[in-house]
Structure 1
Amino acid sequence: MCGRFALTSSSADLREFFSGVDLDEFPARYNIAPTQPILVVIAGEGREQGSNQADRRAVLVRWGLTPAWVKDPRDFPLLINARSETAIGKASFRAAMRHRRILIPASGFYEWHRPSKESGERPQAYWIRPRQGGVVAFAGLMETWSSADGSEVDTGAILTTAANSGISAIHDRMPVIIKPEDFSRWLDCRTQEPREVADLMRPVQDDFFEAVPVSDKVNKVANMGPDLQQPVVVEKPLKAPEKQRPDDGQLSFF
């Protein structure tokens, strides 16, 4: 978790949610997949004196973090997720946790419930969205990778945490959600060290999200329409998972 998400909120809504961050108009995206460009919010470089807006910027990065010390990304795994419990000390994420924490706006995310083979049940996709609607901010990390020829690629990953009781029947992990009142502290890498923001990397309250069963159309990157979020009828209600599955930063959605 998380392997696919969506961002369908308007630019105006995002500007309001992120306290006046500057960004251009963009189309709704219903099926954002790894290696694609994603919109992220980072700390700015200082606004003019007297401004009452937050100092933030919106940029595009490739979803799939590549640490700066990697020589050839083709020989390195695609890190779309980072475990919040270990990111502070893990070599792949340590520098980004200290210097390049970001916010990743989303309207929700997709996840699969995968029953045991013995049950005979089929996997079921879910569209997981805020119960009250609107946009949320995933906690994320950013790293700029430079090639031998001097070209640079900005890359990013989503921080995950243990699933709350509202999501655990589907998957044992979920994105870390940063609330608006904590945006400034999370983005402040100048004065807030990783250990000082560790309290923000916890599961969101149990009733924050609702899970809507959807078709397996989201399984294909080519499917990009709003019909991906159309509810479907499921035969059996969700049950609590029997085992926890590891989340090593790799693709977990498929």
Structure 2
Amino acid sequence: MCGRFALTLPTDAMAQLFDAVPANDLPDVPNYNICPTNQVHTVRTEEGQRRLAPMRWGFLPHWYKATNGGPLLINARAETIAEKPAFRAAVRERRCLIPASGFYEWTKDDDDKRLPWYIHPTGEAPLAFAGIWQDWEREGEAYRTCAIVTCPADGPMASIHHRMPVILAAGDWAKWLGEEGHGAATLMKAAPHDAVRFYRVDPKVNSNRASGKDLIAPLAS
């Protein structure tokens, strides 16, 4: 799964990288501890133009009567996304990219303490998670919401967690966004083993209130 991530790329650099028009109300960056229900940067295609715009991380199906009207859906499993009532229309019609500089996962030691790891791209370019989105409105509240698509982890990543976000290569962005016709389903798989690296970080990131660049600093041995 993916329950926390970081984004450090400036907004103008993201707009250029994704060839997208940026909205005026994007969240502040850098943010080293992006948590569920936060507003996150997303890229979607609308009327032939890519848009860089904020969405609430935490997918709200249209039948939820309140934002807490059901489970918090921050991830959508690639294996079942086309069958789940909450996600099946979105994966056909409303796909997006979710930029990230890296994400966190946890293992446990012999005393059951949570040990955080920071997973980041091997190269300099940021990650682009496969995402889906959904508009939700109820009694004066309105949100554009999203979830990160996940798949079984493969290779070295599997030693940390059994699942990981679907990470899309730049050459696959257009297909995922629906700009190149069909075939997006073929992209929902683990990235090549050498696409990411990881290292231990300080347990302070276990708190969703933690902030600052030191959260992604390698833990001193």
Task: Give TM-score, length-normalised by structure 1.
Answer: 0.80
* Distance across 2 between alignment mates of 1:81 and 1:41: 17
Check if 1:69 corresponds to 2:69. no
Check if 1:27 corresponds to 2:14. no
Check if 1:232 corresponds to 2:219. yes
Q: Of residues 143, 147, 154 in structure 2, which corresponds to 1:153?
A: 143
Equivalent in the alignment of 1:237: none
Q: Which amino acid aligns with 1:146?
A: E
Structure 2 residue matching 1:75: 3-state secondary structure: coil
Cα-to-partner distance string for 1:132-151 (whole Å, 9 max, x where unaligned): 1331110001011110x354
* Distance across 2 between alignment mates of 1:61 and 1:114: 32
Structure 2 residue matching 1:126: 3-state secondary structure: strand
Q: Which amino acid aligns with 1:153?
A: Y
* Distance across 1 between alignment mates of 2:216 and 2:125: 15
Check if 1:108 corresponds to 2:110. no
* Distance across 2 between alignment mates of 1:36 and 1:190: 30
Q: CA deviation at 1:208?
A: 1.0
Q: Of residues 129, 136, 139 in structure 1, which corresponds to 2:127?
A: 136
Q: Of residues 178, 201, 216 in structure 1, which corresponds to 2:188?
A: 201
Gaps of 5+ in 1: 47-54, 235-254
Q: Considering fraction of residues, name the structure with more strand.
A: 2
Equivalent in the alignment of 2:152: 162
Q: Which amino acid aligns with 1:105?
A: P
Q: Percent of aligned pairs with the same residue?
A: 40
Cα-to-partner distance string for 1:202-230 (whole Å, 9 max, x where unaligned): 10001111111001111112211001011
Structure 1 residue matching 2:68: 3-state secondary structure: helix
Distance 1:189 1:75, change over 3 A: farther
* Distance across 2 between alignment mates of 1:83 and 1:174: 10
Gaps of 5+ in 2: none
Q: Of residues 218, 223, 231 in structure 1, which corresponds to 2:205?
A: 218
Q: RMSD of the alignment, in Å?
A: 1.9
Q: Does structure 2 retain, via aligned residues, the 8 Å contact 1:84–1:161?
A: yes
Q: Which amino acid aligns with 1:110?
A: Y
Equivalent in the alignment of 1:4: 4
Q: Which amino acid aligns with 1:45?
A: E
Cα-to-partner distance string for 1:109-128 (whole Å, 9 max, x where unaligned): 0010125xxx4464310010
Q: Does structure 1 retain, via aligned residues, the 8 Å contact 2:57–2:74?
A: yes
* Distance across 2 between alignment mates of 1:183 and 1:61: 18
- Structure with greater contact order relative to length (CA < 8 Å, sep ≥ 6): 1
Q: Does structure 1 retain, via aligned residues, the 8 Å contact 2:20–2:52?
A: no
Task: Give TM-score, length-normalised by structure 2.
Answer: 0.92
Q: CA deviation at 1:191?
A: 4.2
Q: Of residues 156, 168, 178 in structure 2, which corresponds to 1:188?
A: 178
Equivalent in the alignment of 2:44: 42
- Larger deviation, residues 10-19 vs 151-160: 10-19
Equivalent pairs, count: 219
1:86-125 → structure 2 map (5 Å cutoff): 86-115=80-109, 119-120=110-111, 122-125=113-116
Distance 1:123 1:71, change over 3 A: closer
Structure 2 residue matching 1:218: 3-state secondary structure: helix
